[in-house]
Chain A
Amino acid sequence: MVDQLVNSRKQELPFVFTGSGFEYFRIWIVNVLLTIITLGIYSAWAKVRTKRYFYRNTKVDGSPFEYHARPIQILKGRLLIFAGYVAFIVVNQFQPVIGGIIAIIFVLAMPWLIVRSRVFTARNSSWRNIRFDFNEHSLKDAVKTFLIVPILIPFTLGIIIPYLSYRGWKFSITNSRFGRQPFSFQSVRVGAYYRAFFAMVFLLVVIVLGITGLMAGSDLLFRAQDLDPRGGSFLSLFPLVLILFFYLIAVPGYRVMTRNISLNGTTLGDHTFESTLKMWTVIWIYISNGVAIVFSIGLLTPWARVRVSRYLANHLVLNTADDLESFVQAEQRKTSAFGEEATDFMDVDIGGI
C-alpha cells in the first residue's frame, strides 16, 4: 500500500504536442495575408497567435503552456527596432564612421539584449497559471558567454565551440525559474559537449572523404574513357559537398546531441528531464521539410513546423519525484519586448534547435 503510494508519485510524464498541420495552416495563411495587407503591422498579432497556438498545444501532465505577451508590446519593440535600423542605414550612407560605431555598440549590447529577450519570453510564459521567470541580473554571465567566448572562436580554430555550447545552455537553464523554483544544471560536464563535437567532425570528415573519393574515381573513369575531358571535373564540386553536409548533417546533428546532453542534465527541484532525440531522425525531418517547402512553394511550411514541434515534444519526458501541484507563484514583474524583438531581428538563437 505504501509502495503503491510512493510509486504513484514517481511518474514519467511525456510532453505531448496536440496541434495539427492543417489547423495551423489556416492560422498561418490568415496571418500571412493580414501581415501583407497591413504592411507588416499585423505581424505582431500574428506572432502572438502563432506562439499561443504552439504553447497551448504543448502539454505536460494534461495541462497546456500559455503565452501571455500582448501584441502591442511586440509591435512597439518591432517599430523601435525598425526605426533604429532605418536610421542606421541613413547614417551609414552619409557618415560611415558613425555608422560603424553604431554597429559596434549594437554588437556590444548583444548580451544585454539577450538577457532582456530571455526575461521577456520567460515572464510571458506560464504553465498551470504559474509564470516562468529569468534572472535579470545575469548580465555578467551573458557578457562572458555571448561576447568574450565567441571572440575567441577564430583564435582557437573553433576548438572552443563545445565550451560555448555548454556555457550557452548553462546560462539559459540556471537563470530560469518556474514560479519560485529555479532550474538547475549540475551533472553536466563540458567533456560531453566535446565528445559530441568531435563525433560530428569525425562524421563530416568520413562522409566528405568518401564522397571526394567517389568524385575523384569518376573523374579518372571519365578521363580513361576520354569522355569530354573539358566537361569539368566532379572534384570541382567539392566545396559544395562540404557546405551541404556541414549544414544538413553536422550542424543539426551537433545541436541534437547537445540538446539531449543539456536537457538530460536539467533538474527542476527533484524533477528531472529526459530528452531522447535521434540525430538521424531530426536530420531526416529537416531535409524532408526543406524539400516539401520548396515543392509546395511554401504552402507546407505550417505542416513542417508542426512536424518539428511534435517530434521535439514527443521525445521529452518529465520524470517527477513528486506530484506537480506544489510549485508556488513568485511575485510578477513586467518587462518590455525591445530585447526580444532586437534579438529576433538579428536572428539570434542560442541553445535552440
Chain B
Amino acid sequence: MECVADCYDGRKSEKQRVRLNFSQRDVVTVVTDHGERNYSIQEVVVSPRLGGTARRLEMPDGMVCEVSDNDAVDKFFTLSDTEVPGRLIDKLESKLRYVMIAVGVTSLIVWGTISYGIPVLAKHVAFMIPVTASSALGGDALAVLDQVIFSETELGDTEKEEAKVLFLQVTGTTDPEYRFRLEFRQGTNIGPNAFALPTGTIIVTDELIKLIGDAHELESILAHEVGHVIYRHSLRRIIQASTISLVIMAVTGDMSAVSVLAGSLPTLLTETYYSREFEREADEYAYEYLTNNGISPVHFTNILDRMSNSEKVVGFLSTHPTAKERLEMFSRK
C-alpha cells in the first residue's frame, strides 16, 4: 500500500513530494528521490480526521507529511492495531444520519431552554432580588414617557377620586414594600390603555377611564396592572432578554456588529412570546382578585372586549393574548 504526500522537514520551508509506503507492518516508510527512511508506527503522531482536509503525520525527527488520502491512513493504522485519535467525532460529523440527529437534538435543547429554562431561571433570580432594588429599575421612566407619549390629564377631580378609591381596594392587601401609586395621563396616540412601571406606579389613560362602563371593570384592569408589578415582569423581561442574547451568541459563536443585529430579531420574537406569558400571569392575578372579592370575571372580559374594538390599541394587543384567548381562559375557570 502506497500513497503520495507533501513532506516538510521542519528546518526549511521546502516542499518535497514523497511516497509513503505502508507495506511493512507497523512501519511507515518515507520514500524520497534520495532514499528511504523508516519510522516505527508508535513514534508517528497522526492527526485526527477533519472533514476532507489533508492528514498530518508527524515524525519523531520533526518532519511532517501531509496526506490527502484519509482512507489509506485510517486503514493502515487500523491494520496495525494502532488507535487513530478522534474517530468517534469524525463518525458523528461524516454520517448524514448523525448530523440530522445533532440538528434535531440541538434545536430541541435550544427551544426547551428558551421556552422553559430561561423563564424559570429569570423568575427565581427576580424573586431573589429585594423589591427596593428591583423598583430602582424604573428610575425616570415616567418622565421619559411624559415627554414621548403622554400629555397632561383632562379628567375631573371626581373621576380621579373614584379611581383612587378603587385603586386602594386593589392594592390594600399587598405587601407595603411595593409602593403603589396611581397616575392619570392623556394617552393621545395610544388610546385607552394602562401601564405598570416597576416602581409600582400605575398609569391609566383618560381614554380608558372614559371607556369604563362599570366600576368593576376599572378594578379588574388595575388588578391586572398590579399583577405585573407583583410578579416583577419588568425585571424578568430584562433578565430574559440578556440571557437569550447570551444563548444566541453561544450558539452562533460570533459577536461581530452584524451578528448582533442579526441576533436582535430572534430576541424580539422571543420577547413577544415572553410578554404574552407575562400577560397571562397578570390576567391570572386579576382573576384571583376578582373571585376573592366576589366580583364576576365577566367585567374584565367586557372591558378587554371594548378595548380591542377601539381601533387605536394595536400596540397593546400585539404583545397581549387575544381577547378571545383571554375570554376562553376565564370561562374555563
Contacts and interface: CB of A to CB of B under 8 A. Distances in A.
Contact of B15 (A27, A35, A128): A128
A57 B50 CA distance: 11
B266 A294 contact: yes
A109 to B, nearest CB: 21
A294 B262 contact: yes
What 5 A-B pairs come out closest when comparing CB atoms?
A129-B8, A327-B13, A290-B262, A56-B53, A325-B14
Interface string A175-205: 0000100000000000000000000000000
Contacts of B98: 30
B64 interface: yes
Contacts of B62: 129
Contacts of B103: 29, 299
Nearest to B107: A297
B94 interface: yes
B261 A298 contact: no
Contact of A27 (B10, B50, B66, B255): B50
Given A27-B51, A290-B262, A329 B12 contact: yes
B150 to A, nearest CB: 13
B253 interface: yes
Contacts of B255: 347
B132 to A, nearest CB: 16
Contact of A30 (B93, B109, B257): B93
A27 B50 CA distance: 8
A301 B254 contact: yes
A347 B260 CA distance: 13
A73 B188 CA distance: 61
A61 to B, nearest CB: 8
A298 B269 CA distance: 14
Contacts of A29: 99, 102-103, 106
A328 B62 CA distance: 14
A325 B12 contact: yes
Interface string A342-353: 000001000000
B48 to A, nearest CB: 8
Interface string B124-154: 0000000000000000000000000000000
Question: Which size bracket describes the interface of A in this complex?
Answer: 35 or more
B254 to A, nearest CB: 7
A127 interface: yes
14 contacts: A19-B51, A23-B51, A26-B94, A26-B99, A53-B50, A63-B15, A129-B10, A129-B64, A293-B252, A294-B262, A298-B252, A325-B14, A326-B12, A328-B13
Contact of A24 (B6, B51, B251, B266): B51
A247 B12 contact: no
Interface string A87-128: 000000000000000000000000000000000000000011
B53 to A, nearest CB: 4
A294 B265 contact: yes
A336 interface: no
B53 A53 contact: yes
B188 A230 contact: yes
A63 B99 CA distance: 30
A19 B102 CA distance: 21
B258 A290 contact: yes
A251 B256 CA distance: 11
Nearest to B93: A26
A281 B297 CA distance: 60
Contacts of B15: 61-63, 128, 325
B11 A329 contact: yes
